[in-house]
């Protein structure tokens, strides 16, 4: 077949390609040969189109990345020039990141702490580009290093194996925040060391005095306790507490000792504290980062000076397990208003801040009493790590705000890193 040299009509893109490959030459081509030429030309066009689309996708991906970094900055502290933003919104965007909190808690703690309201409030938090705080249970059957990544690790464990897991995880994810470091938590597992930092705080400008009751640590034979008490100059009655405060039922088995002859009945190791009359009210002070909340609870009644009609060792229940709160008793008019008056706010703020820095902890509570008839003279008698926050009114809001503050700080840190990288 010969092509007509006078043919000038172009019927399709395929016919254009015929002209480009020299099919105007006056020589015969078989239908099969022409078909192969058309196929090659179509394939070349397809490759060019794929390449063009890939290049456009790369450009869109870069735009999404720039847009994500810009919007992750805290708009309250930085302004974004309009010229740095993409001129047009991308065709689609990445899913907004979440602030991820992995928690490794006991079944009992999860039941009391991980309430639906807490998870709901956390999911509604919005920090910069982050949408929501995600609370994730850590699987004990899977190595920690294979889980996450998490922005925060929430736990209450001080075991050696777990401590090693945390160290390995921090090596892999250096920016993770551990609430709280095991070595800091261990300070509160020993009643001899837990109150040491309180005595060292300078609270001279805090609208009151804060100290610790005079106490004695007993680790030897019970038969020598009476002599040790006399040598230390402690006055009876005495509060006897186990030395180890690990949250077990035994660590909460406390008693009041009225006479020296019964001291040999105690079971060392333990701590003996002088009992301070305090109107039967203890101020349980919860610390969650910068947040401080106080709850009044019933405590042991005062012991009149010189009372001799009591003797022996009298066990007493955990104060935190009291069925009726002191607030309810005050409303009913059966609580001494002077005893129920809350400690001054500046004093609690200074005390909480000082202990956070000394202990290196974010989550704890203190049992505080006010000495009866001594004005603003207070004593810290116990400190607990990660206590039963469920007993604190509105704890869900307080804890969510605490995590939100952490997310803000992380967002600002990322922004500074991004700014340094750009410069």
Domain total of the chain: 3
Q: Could you identify the residue written with the tokens 């008698």?
A: 381
Query: What is the rounded distance in angstroms from the CA atom of residue 365 to the CA atom of residue 368?
Result: 10
Query: What is the rounded distance in angstroms from the CA atom of residue 50 to the CA atom of residue 80?
Result: 35
Of 140, 142, 149, 148, the C-alpha closest to 104 is 140
pLDDT tens digits in sequence order for the chain, 423 residues long: 444 444 443 444 444 443 343 434 434 445 555 556 656 666 677 667 656 655 655 565 455 444 434 433 433 333 333 333 333 333 333 344 678 999 999 999 999 999 999 999 998 877 655 568 999 999 999 999 999 899 999 999 999 999 999 999 999 999 999 999 999 999 999 998 899 999 899 887 788 999 999 999 999 899 999 999 999 999 999 999 999 998 888 888 899 999 899 999 999 999 999 999 999 999 999 999 999 999 998 888 898 876 656 778 888 865 544 435 555 655 555 677 888 899 999 999 999 999 999 999 999 999 999 999 998 999 999 999 999 998 898 999 999 999 999 888 877 776 666 566 555
Is beta strand 313-316 parallel, antiparallel or unpaired with respect to 254-257?
antiparallel
Query: What is the rounded distance in angstroms from the CA atom of residue 58 to the CA atom of residue 248?
Result: 58
Taking a C-beta distance cutoff of 8 angstroms, is the pair 416, 219 a contact? no
| Torsion (CA) 295, 299, 301, 302 in degrees, nearest 10 | -70
- At 275, list the tokens: 């009992």
Query: What is the rounded distance in angstroms from the CA atom of residue 385 to the CA atom of residue 366?
Result: 9
Query: What domain range is 61 assigned to?
Result: 13-71
Of 10, 14, 9, 22, the C-alpha closest to 40 is 14
The torsion angles phi and psi of 391, rounded to 5 degrees, stand at -85, -10
Q: Are residues 199 and 321 in the same domain?
A: yes
Residue 413 domain flag: yes
Residue 7 domain flag: no
Q: Are residues 333 and 317 in the same domain?
A: yes
Q: Are residues 314 and 413 in the same domain?
A: no
Residue 88 domain flag: no
Q: What is the pLDDT of residue 326?
A: 58
Q: Are residues 380 and 415 in the same domain?
A: no
Residue 399 domain flag: no
Taking a C-beta distance cutoff of 8 angstroms, is the pair 201, 358 a contact? yes
3-state secondary structure of 181: coil
| pTM: predicted TM-score of the whole model, two decimal places | 0.73
Q: Are residues 114 and 62 in the same domain?
A: no
Residue 1 domain flag: no
């Amino acid at each position: 077949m010969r092509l007509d040299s006078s043919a000038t009509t172009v019927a399709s893109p395929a016919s254009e390609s015929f002209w480009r490959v020299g099919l105007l030459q006056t020589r015969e081509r078989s239908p099969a040969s022409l078909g192969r030429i058309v196929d090659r030309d179509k394939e070349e066009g397809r490759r060019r189109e794929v390449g063009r689309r890939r290049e456009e996708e790369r450009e869109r991906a870069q735009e999404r990345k720039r847009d994500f970094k810009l919007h992750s900055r805290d708009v309250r502290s930085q302004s974004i020039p309009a010229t740095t933003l993409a001129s047009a919104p991308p065709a689609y965007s990445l899913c907004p990141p979440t602030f991820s909190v992995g928690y490794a808690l006991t079944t009992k703690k999860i039941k009391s702490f991980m309430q639906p309201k807490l998870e709901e409030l956390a999911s509604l938090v919005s920090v910069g580009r982050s949408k929501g705080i995600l609370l994730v249970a850590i699987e004990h059957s899977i190595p920690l290093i294979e889980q996450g990544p998490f922005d925060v690790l929430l736990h209450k464990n001080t075991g050696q194996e777990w401590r090693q897991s945390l160290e390995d995880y921090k090596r892999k994810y250096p920016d993770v925040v551990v609430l709280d470091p095991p070595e800091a938590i261990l300070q509160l597992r020993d009643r001899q060391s837990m109150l040491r930092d309180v005595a060292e705080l300078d609270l001279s400008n805090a609208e009151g005095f804060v100290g610790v009751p005079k106490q004695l640590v007993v680790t030897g034979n019970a038969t020598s306790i009476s002599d040790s008490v006399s040598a230390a100059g402690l006055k009876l009655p005495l509060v006897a507490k186990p030395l180890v405060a690990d949250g077990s039922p035994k660590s909460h088995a406390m008693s009041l000792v009225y006479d020296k002859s019964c001291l040999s009945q105690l079971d060392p190791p333990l701590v003996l504290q002088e009992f301070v009359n305090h109107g039967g009210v203890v101020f349980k002070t919860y610390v969650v980062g910068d947040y401080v909340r106080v709850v009044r609870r019933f405590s042991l009644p005062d012991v009149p000076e010189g009372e001799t009609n009591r003797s022996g060792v009298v066990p007493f229940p955990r104060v935190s397990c009291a069925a009726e709160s002191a607030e309810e008793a005050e409303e009913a008019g059966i609580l001494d208003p002077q005893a129920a008056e809350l400690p001054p706010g500046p004093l609690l703020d200074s005390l909480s801040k000082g202990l956070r820095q000394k202990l290196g902890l974010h989550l704890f509570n203190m049992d505080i009493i006010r000495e009866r008839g001594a004005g603003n003279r207070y004593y810290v008698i116990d400190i607990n790590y990660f206590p039963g926050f469920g007993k604190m009114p509105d704890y869900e809001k307080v804890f969510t705000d605490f995590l939100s503050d952490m997310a803000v700080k992380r967002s600002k840190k990322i922004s500074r890193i991004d700014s340094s990288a750009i410069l």
